[in-house]
């Protein structure tokens, strides 16, 4: 991850494709706001506009969004973000004010080299009060098109500091498409936050099969995590036995591979149990904790929430469905609590998997604070936690890291 805070000038020409897409939401101060990916510049906008404030308060507000727990992210199913830098005010790469209207100036109209200018003109397709041919006033000027934004106002927004005169800062006016500068202590501009981020859509693909103990099982490529999942569930056992089982898959002749010739596969690790980021098991549900629901710190939960698009028993907002009473709790053929029957559509998406159960599954990762425990997931409800390694009633599934390319025909 890089930490650059200033954007580079846009190099895109007229053929650039304008696109802004909602990739999820962020919970901020009790309200939910859209996260909008501006595809051409790999920028992610938080669709929240502050009240009026001066420039220093705008900068401080944007920085505050980077504090842990201030924003709780809920990405759409299949979306993965590699963040690039912190939340900040929009910026322009220019150091000096040079008025113009032909799209080549640093200020005035039709400036698309700044974050807000590019968003306003190129991505959203709005017009400035003065056209590139000099026509003034230009018909249909102003913020007519907001695209997926719900909270973008028709007014002035702060940008970065004016380098040649530090008492000034750049602004962009969405009411007429004008970029200029103003004294930093002017208290009547808005602020919106933006952050660099490369967005990919998770893809699950079958890249072949293996023969194991006389039966054939799929190899499923989790593109975002660069993992191949063996679609076989090992029966109930404790963590030690399941770890040993996964390692045993690497022995000669245990698996017979039948790889799809459409893919070129380079294995980068051995078979193992899926891993989890270790840390304090503090319970939560808004995606900011390591334990609980809607977490993103495990290969298991990234499969469950992102690739498969399932929901947790406890929602991003803390809500929970009615739970069955003890006397009404269903059991499976083994006499264990049947998550799938109890919670219905929570674990509704399995995509290519045929042998993934709504149950407890071990992670390979020990719980560092108490090594007698290890991390596990409950795929029936999307819960991640830590439990004693001797717990017998947990399944296992194996993964293996790989670099995979689709062969060109």
- Distance CA(178)–CA(324), nearest Å, equals 59
- Whether residues 72 and 147 fall in one domain: yes
Residue pair 376/275 in contact (Cβ under 8 Å)? The answer is no
- Whether residues 217 and 235 fall in one domain: yes
- Distance CA(240)–CA(233), nearest Å, equals 16
SS3 302: helix
Residue 108, classified by CB atoms within 10 Å of its CB into exposed (0-12), middle (13-18) or buried (19+), is: buried
Q: What is the pLDDT of residue 351?
A: 84
If one counts every other C-beta atom within 10 angstroms of the C-beta of residue 82, the result is 13
Q: What is the mean pLDDT of residues 16-21?
A: 66
- Whether residues 98 and 157 fall in one domain: yes
Tens of pLDDT along 221-276?
998 899 999 999 999 999 999 999 999 999 999 999 999 998 999 999 999 999 99
Residue 250, classified by CB atoms within 10 Å of its CB into exposed (0-12), middle (13-18) or buried (19+), is: middle
Residue pair 110/102 in contact (Cβ under 8 Å)? The answer is yes
Examine residue 5 and state whether it is found in any structural domain, yes or no: no
Strand partners, 377: 361, 384
Q: What is the mean pLDDT of residues 148-165?
A: 96
Residue that finishes a domain, picked among 176, 201, 226 = 201
Token pair belonging to 385: 């936690």
- Whether residues 275 and 367 fall in one domain: yes
Examine residue 2 and state whether it is found in any structural domain, yes or no: no
- Distance CA(348)–CA(334), nearest Å, equals 22
Residue 208 binned pLDDT confidence (cut-offs 50, 70, 90): very high
Residue that finishes a domain, picked among 201, 229, 249 = 201
Percentage, residues of the chain above pLDDT 90: 73
Residue that finishes a domain, picked among 201, 220, 243 = 201
**What is the pTM for the complete model shown?**
0.63
- Whether residues 163 and 293 fall in one domain: no
Residue 17 binned pLDDT confidence (cut-offs 50, 70, 90): very low
Structurally, how many domains does the chain consist of?
A: 2
- Whether residues 348 and 289 fall in one domain: yes
- Whether residues 162 and 258 fall in one domain: no
Residue 206 parent element (H or E): strand 204-212
- Whether residues 168 and 79 fall in one domain: yes
287: containing domain: 204-406
- Whether residues 169 and 214 fall in one domain: no
- Distance CA(209)–CA(355), nearest Å, equals 13
Q: What is the pLDDT of residue 323?
A: 62
Residue 320 binned pLDDT confidence (cut-offs 50, 70, 90): confident
Tens of pLDDT along 40-84?
999 999 999 999 999 999 999 999 999 988 999 888 877 878 899
CA 380 to centroid of chain Cα atoms = 22
- Whether residues 335 and 216 fall in one domain: yes
């Amino acid at each position: 991850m890089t930490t650059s805070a200033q954007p580079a000038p846009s190099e895109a020409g007229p053929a650039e494709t304008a696109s802004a897409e909602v990739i999820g939401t962020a919970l901020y101060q009790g309200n939910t706001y859209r996260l909008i990916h501006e595809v051409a510049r790999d920028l992610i906008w938080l669709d929240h506009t502050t009240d009026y404030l001066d420039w220093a308060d705008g900068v401080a507000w944007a920085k505050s969004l980077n504090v842990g727990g201030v924003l709780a992210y809920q990405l759409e199913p299949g979306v993965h973000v590699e963040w690039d830098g912190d939340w900040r005010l929009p910026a322009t790469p220019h150091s000096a004010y040079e008025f113009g209207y032909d799209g080549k100036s640093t200020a005035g109209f039709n400036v698309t080299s700044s974050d807000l200018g590019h968003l306003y003109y190129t991505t959203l397709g709005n017009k400035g009060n003065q056209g590139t041919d000099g026509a003034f006033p230009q018909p249909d000027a102003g913020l007519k098109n907001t695209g997926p934004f719900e909270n973008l106002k028709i007014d002035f927004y702060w940008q970065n500091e004016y380098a040649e005169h530090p008492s000034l800062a750049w602004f962009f006016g969405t009411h007429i498409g004008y970029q200029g500068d103003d004294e930093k202590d002017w208290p009547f501009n808005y602020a919106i936050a933006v952050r660099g981020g490369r967005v990919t859509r998770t893809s699950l693909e079958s890249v072949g099969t293996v023969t194991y103990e006389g039966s054939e099982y799929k190899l499923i490529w989790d593109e975002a995590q660069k993992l191949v999942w063996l679609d076989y569930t090992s029966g109930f056992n404790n963590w030690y036995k399941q770890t040993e089982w996964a390692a045993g898959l690497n022995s000669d002749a245990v698996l017979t591979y039948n790889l799809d010739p459409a893919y070129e596969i380079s294995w980068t690790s051995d078979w193992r149990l899926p891993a989890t980021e270790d840390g304090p098991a503090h319970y939560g549900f808004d995606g900011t904790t390591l334990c609980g629901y809607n977490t993103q710190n495990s290969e298991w939960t990234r499969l469950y929430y992102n690739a498969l698009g399932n929901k947790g028993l406890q929602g991003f907002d803390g809500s929970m469905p009615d739970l069955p009473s003890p006397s009404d709790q269903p059991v499976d053929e083994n006499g264990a609590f049947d998550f799938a029957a109890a919670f219905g559509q929570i674990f509704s998406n399995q995509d290519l998997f045929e042998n993934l159960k709504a149950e407890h599954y071990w992670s390979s990762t020990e719980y560092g604070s108490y090594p007698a425990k290890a991390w596990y997931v409950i795929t029936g409800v999307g819960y991640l936690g830590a439990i004693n390694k001797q717990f017998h009633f947990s399944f296992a599934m194996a993964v293996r890291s790989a670099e995979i390319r689709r062969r060109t025909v």
